[in-house]
């Protein structure tokens, strides 16, 4: 007899609870947590349903056994007697009672399970509804807060943007005002310079007019003097002629008498000198004007001429070169006078004083003097290695065009060529640096560790080889030998000389530092050159212990390409 009671008209199984779906809202409760809780409720419902099914099966089995006993009472009573029948009857009654209790208990458990399941379902639905409502409220609240925050951010951005725009406008106005002021200052400066230039031009024009007036007056004076000389010459000639006319006739002296009256001296014979015939095509011969009536010479005129010839000194054994120079000087002077130009004044070579004026300049002069010979030798050796390297590279790249990859010589072989060319010279430079340090300290010093010098030679080789290979490989046009010639041409001049100078200074200072091991040195900036920030920082440290890097991170200069700074013993 099935007396199960339905607690609720809407029953839900565990599978329905597990498969239950709920609508999602934005920013609500976590659906995974809700799903986990519903799965727990479904597992409990499943356990209750399983227990109810087991009890129902036990009840059905008891009812079946009670309904279909194996032996009836009559048979048992006949076989066992009345007492056994009473025992069997009481057993049947007890079985009925137990069965009734079991049915009631099963019914109660089933009802209780349904009630608990219904309660759990209602609670889960209520909790889910509460969670959903709470999630919706939270989502609504968060959405409101987000909208309010977004609105605040938008308003703040607007305010900040307006402030930035206003500030930018103010800065723009200030910049425009500064530009206008600068423009006014430049225009005023230009106006002042223009006025001064106009004034200078006017002064130059006035000076030109004054010079023109002076030249004109000088020309007029010269012309007056020349006309006076011409008139005086004509007057003297006319006076001489008139005196000769008024003079009483006398017997003309013979030539022997004139020569006897004039003392003559012997003139030594001068060896003939072969002179080059000067080019007289540029020299115009002076115009010869014939006098219409030449005046006869008087005795006084002849005697005066003889005396003048006697009083003029005659050089004895004058060098022919001086004569030639005098002839060409006169020809140049005549050419310049014909062209209306003045003879240029001889130029004087400017006097340059190389004597150092300060102790620092003296130190740098001594360092450069110690480097001169070795630097020249280093440059020659590197250039010779460059030429040898070029010959090898031209042989490798002959009849090669396009992209060059493995056609060139091995890079390490190239580096070895330059490192070997510079290694011995740089060691001599390091020894010169050690000798320089010894002269400064008054001790005998030397260098035994040439690791830094070998590194300098390797760096020189790497710099040249990488630059050459990169230059040859970068240009993809033309033949390989033409590209190699163009690359090596860039390194033949001042470029390799600058690199050799930097490397030689590096080796020299490595020798100074190596000779001063355990001592102290000072960093000196090159006089006459504006130091860079790193050089000025190292120079500001004063006395510095050898072996510890300077603030720039280097042990000694050069700190950059072309750096002429130095380290000296402290």
Q: Measured between alpha carbons, how far is residue 92 from residues 66, 95, 102, 140, 302 in Å?
A: 8, 5, 15, 69, 202
Helix (H, G, I), strand (E, B) or coil at 355: coil
Place 76 in a pLDDT band, splitting at 50, 70 and 90: low
Pick the closest to residue 567 from 518, 487, 505 (CA basis): 505
Helix (H, G, I), strand (E, B) or coil at 543: strand
Domain with 61 in it = 14-190
Task: Yes or no: say if 552 and 539 are a contact pair by the CB < 8 Å rule.
Answer: no
Domain boundary among 171, 190, 209: 190
Q: Does 85 fall in a domain?
A: yes
Q: How many CB atoms lie within 10 A of CB 474?
A: 10
**Residue 520 bridge partners (DSSP):** 545
Q: Does 228 fall in a domain?
A: no
Q: Does 332 fall in a domain?
A: no
Q: Does 195 fall in a domain?
A: no
Q: What are phi and psi of 444, to 5 degrees?
A: -95, 115
Task: Yes or no: say if 374 and 505 are a contact pair by the CB < 8 Å rule.
Answer: no
The tally of domains found in the chain comes to 2
Q: What is the dihedral of CA 532, 565, 457, 561, to 10 degrees?
A: 30
Q: Does 215 fall in a domain?
A: no
Q: Are strands 520-524 and 543-545 parallel, antiparallel or unpaired?
A: antiparallel
Task: Please state the rounded mean pLDDT for residues 502-511.
Answer: 93
Q: Does 51 fall in a domain?
A: yes
Domain boundary among 134, 169, 190: 190
| Entry pTM | 0.41
Task: Yes or no: say if 526 and 566 are a contact pair by the CB < 8 Å rule.
Answer: yes
Give me 466's structure tokens: 């990488």
362-400 per-position pLDDT tens digit: 888 888 898 888 999 999 999 999 999 988 888 888 877
Q: How far apart are CA 71 and CA 468, in angstroms?
A: 119
Q: Measured between alpha carbons, how far is residue 229 from residues 86, 218, 297, 302 in Å?
A: 198, 16, 20, 22
Q: Does 81 fall in a domain?
A: yes
Residues whose CB falls within 8 Å of the CB of residue 99, separated by 6 or more in sequence, listed in order: 59, 62, 63, 66
pLDDT at 265: 46
Q: Does 196 fall in a domain?
A: no
Domain boundary among 160, 190, 220: 190
Taking only Cα atoms into account, the Rg of the chain, rounded to an integer number of angstroms, comes to: 63
300-344 per-position pLDDT tens digit: 443 344 333 343 443 444 444 555 566 667 666 666 665 554 445
Pick the closest to residue 317 from 374, 269, 279, 249 (CA basis): 269
Chain mean pLDDT for the chain: 75
């Amino acid at each position: 007899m099935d007396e199960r009671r339905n607690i609720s008209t809407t029953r839900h199984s565990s599978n329905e609870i597990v498969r239950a779906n709920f609508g999602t809202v934005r920013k609500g409760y976590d659906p995974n947590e809700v799903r986990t809780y519903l799965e727990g409720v479904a597992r409990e419902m499943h356990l209750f349903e399983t227990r109810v099914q087991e009890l129902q099966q036990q009840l059905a089995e008891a009812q079946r056994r009670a309904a279909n006993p194996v032996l009836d009472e009559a048979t048992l009573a006949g076989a066992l007697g009345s007492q056994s029948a009473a025992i069997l009857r009481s057993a049947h009654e007890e079985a009925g009672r137990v069965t009734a209790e079991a049915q009631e208990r099963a019914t109660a458990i089933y009802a209780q399970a349904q009630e608990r399941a219904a309660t759990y379902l209602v609670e889960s639905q209520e909790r889910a509804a509460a969670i959903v409502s709470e999630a919706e409220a939270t989502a609504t609240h968060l959405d409101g807060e987000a909208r309010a925050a977004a609105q605040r951010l938008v308003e703040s951005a607007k305010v900040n943007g307006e402030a930035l725009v206003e500030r930018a406008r103010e800065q723009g106005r200030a910049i425009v005002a500064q530009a206008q002021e600068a423009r006014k200052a430049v225009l005023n400066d230009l106006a002042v310079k223009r006025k001064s230039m106009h004034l200078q031009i006017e002064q130059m024009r006035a000076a030109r007019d004054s010079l023109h007036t002076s030249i004109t007056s000088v020309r007029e004076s010269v012309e007056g003097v020349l006309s006076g000389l011409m008139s005086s010459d004509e007057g003297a000639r006319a006076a001489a002629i008139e005196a000769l006319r008024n003079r009483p006739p006398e017997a003309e002296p013979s030539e022997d008498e004139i020569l006897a009256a004039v003392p003559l001296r012997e003139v030594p014979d001068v060896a003939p000198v072969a002179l080059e015939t000067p080019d007289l095509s540029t020299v115009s011969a002076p115009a010869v004007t014939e006098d219409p009536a030449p005046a006869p010479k008087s005795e006084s005129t002849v005697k005066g001429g003889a005396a003048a010839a006697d009083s003029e000194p005659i050089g004895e054994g004058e060098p022919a070169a001086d004569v030639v120079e005098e002839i060409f000087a006169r020809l140049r002077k005549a050419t310049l006078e014909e062209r209306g130009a003045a003879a240029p004044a001889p130029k004087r070579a400017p006097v340059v004083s190389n004597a150092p004026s300060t102790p620092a300049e003296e130190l740098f002069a001594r360092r450069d003097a110690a480097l001169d010979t070795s630097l020249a030798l280093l440059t020659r050796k590197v250039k010779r290695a460059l030429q040898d390297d070029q010959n090898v590279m031209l042989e490798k790249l002959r009849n090669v065009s396009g992209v060059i990859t493995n056609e060139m010589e091995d890079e390490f072989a190239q580096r070895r060529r330059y490192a070997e060319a510079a290694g011995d010279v740089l060691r001599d430079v390091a020894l010169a640096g050690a000798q320089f340090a010894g002269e400064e300290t008054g001790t005998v010093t030397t260098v035994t560790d040439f690791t830094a010098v070998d590194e300098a030679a390797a760096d020189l080789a790497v710099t040249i080889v990488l630059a050459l290979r990169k230059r040859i490989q970068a240009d993809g046009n033309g033949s390989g030998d033409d590209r190699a010639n163009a690359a090596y041409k860039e390194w033949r001049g001042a470029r390799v000389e600058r690199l050799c100078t930097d490397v030689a200074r590096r080796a020299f200072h490595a020798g100074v530092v190596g000779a001063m091991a355990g001592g102290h040195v000072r960093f000196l900036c090159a006089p006459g050159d504006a130091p860079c920030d790193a050089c000025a920082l190292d120079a500001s440290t004063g006395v510095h212990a050898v072996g510890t890097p300077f603030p720039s991170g280097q042990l000694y200069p050069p700190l950059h390409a072309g750096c002429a700074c130095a380290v000296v013993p402290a």
